Amino acid sequence: MVFITQDKRQDKITTILDSRFRGNDKRMDWQSAKQLRDKIATRRTNSVEATKAVFTRIAKIEPILGAYISTFEEQAIARAAEIDKRITGGEKLGQLAGVPVAVKDNMCTTFGTTTCASKILANFHAPYNATVVEKLLAADAVIIGKTNLDEFAMGSSTENSGLKQTVNPWDTKRVPGGSSGGSTAAVAAGLCYAALGSDTGGSIRQPASLCGVVGLKPTYGRVSRYGLVAYGSSLDQIGPITQTVEDCALMLNVIAGHDTADSTSVDEKIAPVVDYLAKLDEPVKGLRIGIASSFNAGADEQVRKAIDEAIKTYRNLGATIVEIDMPHLDYAIAAYYMVATAEASSNLARYDGVHYGHRTQNPNDYIEVYTKSRAEGFGKEVKRRIMLGTYALSSGYYDAYYLKALKVRNLIRGDFVRAFEKCDCIMMPVAPTTAFKIGEKVDDPLKMYLSDIYTIAANLAGIPGISIPCGFDDKKLPVGLQILSPAFSEEKLLRIAQMYEKQTDWHKKRPLI
Amino acid sequence: MSNVDYKVEVLVGLEIHVQLCTRTKMFCGCELAFGTEPNSRVCPVCLGMPGSLPVMNKQAVEFSILAGLALNCQIPSFTKWDRKGYYYPDLPKNYQISQYDLPLALNGYIEIPTDNGLKKIRIRRAHLEEDAGKNLHTAGNFSQVDLNRAGTPLLEIVTEPDMSSAIEVRTLAEELQRIVRYLGISEADMQKGHMRFEPNVNLVITRAGQQFKTPIVEVKNLNSFRALENSIDYEIGRQLDRFLETGETMEMGNKSTRGWDDAKEVTVLQREKEEAHDYRYFPDPDLVPVRVNEQWLNEIKSRLRELPSKKRLRYVKEYGLSDYDAGVLTNDRTVADFFEEAVKAGSEPKRACNLLTQIGLKLANARGCAITELGPKAADIAQLAQMTQTGEISATAANTILEEMVKTGKAPRELAEQLNLIQKNDAGELEGIVDEVLKSNPQAAADFKEGGKKSGKARGFLLGQVMQKTKGRANPKIAAEILDKKLA
């Protein structure tokens, strides 16, 4: 990966950053999304002021960070003004009234483009809003921009973006993680108050960990996928990326629920949606934490240390530790790359230059419209996964690959079911390492795939998982603690996360960017 | 070669695509459309827009199950949706949502009339899928795509190769058309492409005790009964010629695909060898499997109705109609229902049958409308029939009245009076007229009395005179009785 402007940028950045500890929170006058919402609602500030402040910061920092593919300054300020007017008029507004938020650029919006960070959709204007976007708007949020990602959400570093590079706000020579790296970098750097990401194999949790923010992947079916450009349909799930656990609960309140447009979103009669804020501050009594020690052993020493410390904190709060056995977790990555790529090869078949998106110039026949448009429009990693998935589904190979992967998936699901008989949640690292250097793994896809070793199982099992900041390594890079819980237990999961956050200040640390 | 005796057996299996007449498309809320402006009945889902998701049309599933039940199929309690992948410009997602290994219905049969009685044709399976759009090659160096049809629910029915002639295939296709129309699950309008056929044809040739099978040919995309029948007949001849010429058998050749040239009436080779088509089927992760529980199945079963073939037999047996008449009445469910309603309202079956087949259908055809749309209600038909039954009017008069009813919308009795078609049943009045006729035709009266050869002719002549005098309104039965009494 050649990143031409990197050196120049770095010069500029060094002048901005001083050598102080990056976890210093003194200069942070930021506030959480909920705090801002409450201030706006009680007219101690207003949405226009908050939105303008965010855009001032974007003007300064975004050229370094590269978190956004598009921003909508004029539109956002106009909407903020309208919300302020309604507040002044005494109207009761939605849960996110006036709060500037960002959306990962693989969720359809009728405004701006929906690019998936791919050249093939670089100029694509969606004719409809994703359900989550409708819900944000209905909650009176101000959508300020759409964030960068690995092309079609395929990657763990956002380096696979076909449109731009996002850097980690804690160290701009490093990746923000991926694929929701734009969203996590923007939240970490204060370029929005909260954001939406999508998580197919760890794409919310891993970059949240690498950027030191909170990221939740809800249970599969909790949040509508309608309007989320599909990568691996049976694994994809939209979730919040926020500064605090409380904000995470707030965002989930807004986006959770059944959607008649998504058959895989779950009936609320079976799994009711609750107010995730209502009991957030109630600690879980008699909390039993499951740990798979041998599995966790693969992580970097400093990551393990931070995780151990975090678990000690829980112990001090009265939690008990249960050793669990997850015999099939070792096969998670292999199964994941079969299921996800098989589905992707089919999901991405529609980008053919016929109906929309990039079309090759002067094709000789309609076959060339397909082959050349796709060859020109897709990046290397996307092509790799399409080929892998196509192969896995080919006749004669289906049983050996795809079908077998589905069986492994069931075994992993079983591992979790058995584990949750003994514990309320499972804790483990989010990623084996902290943020790695830009370019470090781009030529070694297998190494890159291993970045997701701890996150993938939750997608295969469909269960929720959260990443919360739990410390820094000696390079002052954030470490995330992952907590997994049974399907549709988000309320409890958030309460468990909140117990820790209340005891620690890690979430208040901000990068000096 | 020509001296060698050989026996030829024809094997035909049929794939039929039936477009269901649901209100909306298979996986989105767009209304089904025919003949509307291109790309006017589309939405993000049937356009295959990024991020859009399909939602199953329950009505389409129920229609398919209904068809499955009518075709005596098993309805599995668990079925699912699969993606069938192939690239074509009229297929916006470049995969079609279909059903691969677990169809909605399987292992059924359909009975068709043949010269040797009813023949059972086995149904292998029936599954539901979405239709593609249409490529339009109208302008210059590029093509256009109309996606109005994309996402329309299609029921694909596959038979076993149990048919042994083109006419059998046609009979089955026509019977199927009647069935789906009876069930109200498809308009089955051939002109609108609601039914498309793909027969698989080959021959088993026995010569000198040895059996040879010719390579299977699939004829693609036939959309008329005529093309279906003719293409199979053509294939039978072509395959026999080719075998006699080259001796090529199934083992040597390969399954090939041919198209039908309607103008030249020949099949044309499209694909020689079965190309290694790999559709990469896999379960569609965007849709949940369909579980058909007993309650739902029973609810659908309750919507099953008497099918045309059964009805036809019943009309013959129960109503004493001719097989031909029963066939005409049962061909169209609306007609059959209308007929049965008239019978229920008091008409003799044969009278209602005659009124409907001789006048009703003729008028409906001329107007291009359904028999129910002509105006007269089944109760009116019954009244008219009853007037004939009681001798109030003649059968001929009933036909005239029905025509007038359609024209004017008036009631039968009113018209009978207005048109002076009430028969003279008054014996006293008729007696006077008979006397008059006898008086003015003494020779004929004498001939009749005399008996013998001339008698019959004279009787007919005299009755004719009575009818003439009454302008056809004399009740012929009563007039004849009087005449016979007078000259006895």
Q: What is the pTM of this model?
A: 0.89
Hey, which residues does B119 pair with through a beta bridge?
B112
Q: Which domain holds residue A245?
A: 6-325+418-506
Is the CB of B24 inside 8 Å of chain A's CB atoms?
no
Q: Do B280 and A395 touch (CB under 8 A)?
A: yes
- The C-alpha atoms of residue A97 and residue A80 are separated, in whole angstroms, by 9
- Cβ within 8 Å of residue A217, ≥6 positions away: A199, A202, A204, A205, A237, A239, A455, A458, A459, A464, A465, A466
Reported as a single tens digit per residue, the pLDDT across B313-351 is 999 999 999 999 999 999 999 999 999 999 999 999 999
Could you tell me how many residues make up chain B? 488
Q: Are A473 and A303 in contact (CB under 8 A)?
A: yes
Q: Which residues of chain B have pLDDT under 50?
A: 1
Residue type at position B422:
I
Q: Which two tokens stand for residue B318?
A: 């129960």
For residue A381, tell me if it sits in a domain.
no
In a domain, A333, yes or no: no
CB < 8 Å to B27, chain A: none
Q: Which residues of B touch A266 (CB under 8 A)?
A: none
Query: Min CA distance, A374 vs chain B (Å)?
Result: 12
What are the residues facing B154 on neighbouring strands? B19, B129
Domain count of chain A? 1
Assess whether A203 carries a catalytic annotation.
Answer: yes
Q: Is A227 on the interface with B (CB under 8 A)?
A: yes
Question: Cα–Cα distances in Å, from B166 out to A330, B160, B219, B232, B240?
Answer: 60, 15, 13, 5, 15
Q: How far apart are CA A70 and CA B59, in angstroms?
A: 42
Q: Following DSSP, what letter does each residue of A138-200 receive, concatenated?
A: HTT-EEEEEE--SGGG--SSSTT-SS----BTTBTTB---SSTHHHHHHHHTTSSSEEEEEES
Whole-number Å distance between alpha carbons of B367 and B372: 12
Contact A254, A97 (CB under 8 A): no
Asked if residue A117 is part of any domain, the answer here is yes
Asked if residue A436 is part of any domain, the answer here is: yes
Domains of chain B, first to last:
13-203+272-296 (no CATH), 308-418 (no CATH), 427-487 (1.10.10.410)
**Cross-chain Cβ contact A349/B44 below 8 Å:** no
Interchain CB contact of A370 with B (< 8 Å): yes
Collapsing DSSP states into helix, strand and coil, what is residue B103? coil
CA distance A359 to A342: 24
Task: Tokens 């923010």: give the residue.
Answer: A213
In a domain, A49, yes or no: yes
DSSP at A227: T
| Long-range CB contact pairs, B443-448, < 8 A, 24+ | B445/B487, B448/B487
Question: Which residues in chain A land under pLDDT 50?
Answer: 1-7, 9-11, 13-28
Pairing of strands B256-261, B217-219: parallel
Report CB contact under 8 Å: A349, B288: no
Instruction: Note whether residue A400 is domain-resident.
Output: no
Q: Chain A to chain B, count of Cβ pairs less than 8 Å apart?
A: 100
**Which of A134, A354, A364, A395 is the best residue to mutate to test the B interface, defined by the most B CB atoms within 10 Å of its own CB?**
A354
- Determine, for residues B49 and A349 on separate chains, whether the beta-carbon distance falls below 8 Å: no
B51/A124 touch (CB, cutoff 8 Å), yes or no: no
Q: Which residues of B touch A393 (CB under 8 A)?
A: 85, 280-282
| Residue A102 and residue A243 in contact, taking contact as beta carbons nearer than 8 Å | no
A179 counts as catalytic: yes
Q: Tell me which residue of B260, B207, B202, B266 sits closest to B236, measured CA to CA.
A: B202
Q: Does residue A395 belong to the interface with chain B, where contact is any CB pair within 8 Å?
A: yes
Chain A residue numbers with beta carbons less than 8 Å from the beta carbon of B94 are 349-350, 352
| CA within 13 Å, CB half, A323 | 3
Rounded to the nearest angstrom, the minimum Cα separation between A188 and chain B is 27
How many CA atoms lie less than 13 Å away from B194 in the CB half-sphere?
A: 20
Task: Flag if A262 and B92 touch (Cβ within 8 Å).
Answer: no
What single DSSP character describes residue A20? S
Q: Is B278 part of the contact surface with chain A (CB cutoff 8 Å)?
A: yes
Q: Which residues of B touch A118 (CB under 8 A)?
A: none
Q: Taking each helix axis as running N to C, give the angle between helix B323-330 and helix B308-319, from 0 to 180 degrees, rounded to the nearest 10.
A: 140
Q: Is A230 on the interface with B (CB under 8 A)?
A: yes
The residue length of chain A stands at 513
Hey, are the CB atoms on A264 and B44 less than 8 Å from each other?
Answer: no
Helix (H) or strand (E) holding A414: helix A404-419
Q: Quick check: helix, strand or coil at residue B39?
A: coil
Active site residue A224: no
**Would residue A97 count as lying in a domain?**
yes
Instruction: Please give the helix or strand (H or E) that residue B206 lies within, else none.
Output: strand B195-207
Q: Is A325 an 8 Å CB contact of chain B?
A: no
Task: Kindly report the CATH number assigned to the domain that includes residue A290.
Answer: 3.90.1300.10
Interface contact B51-A108, CB threshold 8 A: yes
Interface contact A263-B286, CB threshold 8 A:
yes
How many CB atoms are located within 10 Å of the residue A128 CB? Answer: 19
**Which residues have a Cβ under 8 Å from the Cβ of A410 and sit 6 or more positions away?**
none
